[in-house]
Amino acid sequence: MGWLAESGHCRACGGVVGLGTVAVTGAAGNIGSVVRVALRGDADRLVLLDRVPLRAETATEEVRIVDLRDAAAVESALAGVDSVLHLGGVPDEAPLADLLQANVLGTHHVLEAARRVGSGRVVLASSNRITGFYPTAHRTRPLEPARPDGLYGVSKVAVEALGQLYADKFGLSVICLRIGSFEDAPTEPRHLATWLSPRDTVGYVRAALTAPQSTRFATVYAVSANSRRFWELPDESVLAYTPVDNAEAYASRVTDAEVPADPSAPQAGPYATPEFTLQHIWP
């Protein structure tokens, strides 16, 4: 876990960052577990929210068992919070009703609570699956139209739309991170394009939490500096972070890494197949 000592090239961070009080939803998840450790030295207080039990590991951590579908509980948990990293929700394809409840309604409750308690910044965990039907030969930019690869992608389109609404209508500062394939190391050919390393994950999160308050709304792809990546890296004027890891360093360990990708195939790979979604529509 030595990578936690480095934050990558985050020009906004400038070393140790005083983040005040940061709330992390979905803190028991894979990304949440990594980020909470990395932010301990940056935040005065970490408020860790999840539906499952958590244990405070330092004197500056507070844990709250909260269902994001409960608006009042979310608002109570966010009282006194300076910024929110919203990672909670259903993380993959599921019945649309479940995705709407957990991802869309849950995000609405987080944004509304942040507005009510006066939080300065909300960082939303979005997904590359919003644009999964663009072909692999296409370098996708954040402002291009959505082409979700399934119901999960649709829910994340709605998440970003809610963020834009709260930025435009209520002046909340919102940054959406379209997260790539978060893994310790690439394990399949698609990951050579989509991998997001733990170290770069921390770097993107730090940069998003410390971006100037003048950043009213932004959407960026959170992906490592992979030579084969499908997505445009953030412009420095939008988010001041340059990823440092490259999936190509692991290519020799990935089966079929040298098989050329079909340039017309969807970036989402198997997630774009009808079967992947149909199993969640029909019993």
Integer Cα distance of 124 and 114 in angstroms: 12
Annotated catalytic residue 152: yes
Please report how many Cα atoms fall inside a 13 Å half-sphere around the Cα of residue 46, on the Cβ side. 28
pTM assigned to the model: 0.94
Q: What is the DSSP string of 236-274?
A: TTT--EE----GGGGGGGSTTTTSPP-TTSBTTGGGGSH
Domain boundaries, the chain: 19-278
Catalytic residue among 152, 241, 250, 271: 152
Q: What is the pLDDT along the chain (283 residues), one digit of tens a residue?
A: 333 334 455 655 544 458 999 999 999 999 999 999 999 989 999 999 999 999 999 999 999 999 999 999 999 999 999 999 999 999 999 999 999 999 999 999 999 999 999 999 999 999 999 999 999 999 999 999 999 999 999 999 999 999 999 999 999 999 999 999 999 999 999 999 999 999 999 999 999 999 999 999 999 999 999 999 999 999 999 999 999 999 999 999 999 999 999 999 999 999 999 999 999 997 6
Integer Cα distance of 141 and 233 in angstroms: 8
The proportion of the chain whose per-residue pLDDT surpasses 90, expressed as a percent, equals 92
Of 39, 47, 54, the closest CA to residue 23 belongs to 47
Q: Which CATH superfamily is domain 19-278 in?
A: NAD(P)-binding Rossmann-like Domain (3.40.50.720)
Tokens of 212: 């100037």
